[in-house]
Structure formats: C-alpha cells, structure tokens
C-alpha cells in the first residue's frame, strides 16, 4: 500500500467514515482538516492505536514483530519499542484486516 492509501485507511478506521478525503497540494484533506500522516508520525500512530481492543493490541504486537523481522529497524528489535511509524501503521491495518498487498 502507498503511504496515501495507508493514511486514508487509518483515518477511516479512526472514525473518518463516509467522508471525502482529497489530495490538495500534496496534503490529504478532509474538508478543512488535514489528515494525519500516520506513516511518518509516531504521535499520530499512538492516537490511532487507541482504537484497538485488548485483543487487537495483542494481535498488533504480533504483527509488529513479524514486520520488524522482515524489515528490521536500525536497532534490530522485534518489539514495538523501536518500530517506525510506517511499521506501526502496517501492523495496525493488518490487525484490522484492512491491509492490502501491493499488486505485482
């Protein structure tokens, strides 16, 4: 998924449903509000992760470990402690069943 697709999917998962999100001058906008850049902002991902249930958080941790083993951070950790915002975003969408593999 592209960063834009990820940011839109997470915004919708956080309650921005039935809305028209548009790319305006390189920024994703919903009305007059800018959509968070979940792929690059750890604070935005922290807020998004709050929508997960306890069961969802457990699945999210497992996905973060899987993603870090596939694309290790510079620290080489398999935990969420050193996961990038992009890795957290992918884990978040995988947890919700909204991740789409890139077509070849």
Residue extents of the structural domains in the chain: 3-95
Least confident range from 19-28, 77-86, 95-104: namely 19-28
pTM score, whole prediction: 0.78
Residue, of 19 and 88, whose pLDDT is higher: 88
State what percent of residues in the chain have pLDDT above 90.
Answer: 37
25-50: per-residue pLDDT in tens? 777 777 667 788 999 999 999 999 99
Q: Give burial (CB, 10 Å; 0-12/13-18/19+) of 20.
A: exposed
Q: What is the mean pLDDT of the chain?
A: 82
Give the H or E element holding residue 54.
helix 54-70
């Amino acid at each position: 998924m592209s960063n834009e697709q990820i940011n839109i999917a997470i915004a919708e998962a956080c309650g921005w449903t039935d809305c028209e999100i548009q790319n305006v001058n390189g920024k994703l906008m919903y009305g007059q509000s800018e959509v968070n850049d979940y792929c690059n902002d750890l604070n935005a991902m922290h807020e998004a992760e709050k929508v997960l249930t306890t069961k969802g958080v457990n699945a999210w941790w497992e996905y973060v470990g899987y993603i870090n083993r596939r694309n290790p951070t510079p620290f080489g950790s398999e935990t969420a402690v050193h996961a990038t915002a992009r890795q957290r975003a992918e884990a978040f969408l995988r947890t919700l069943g909204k991740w789409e593999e890139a077509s070849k």
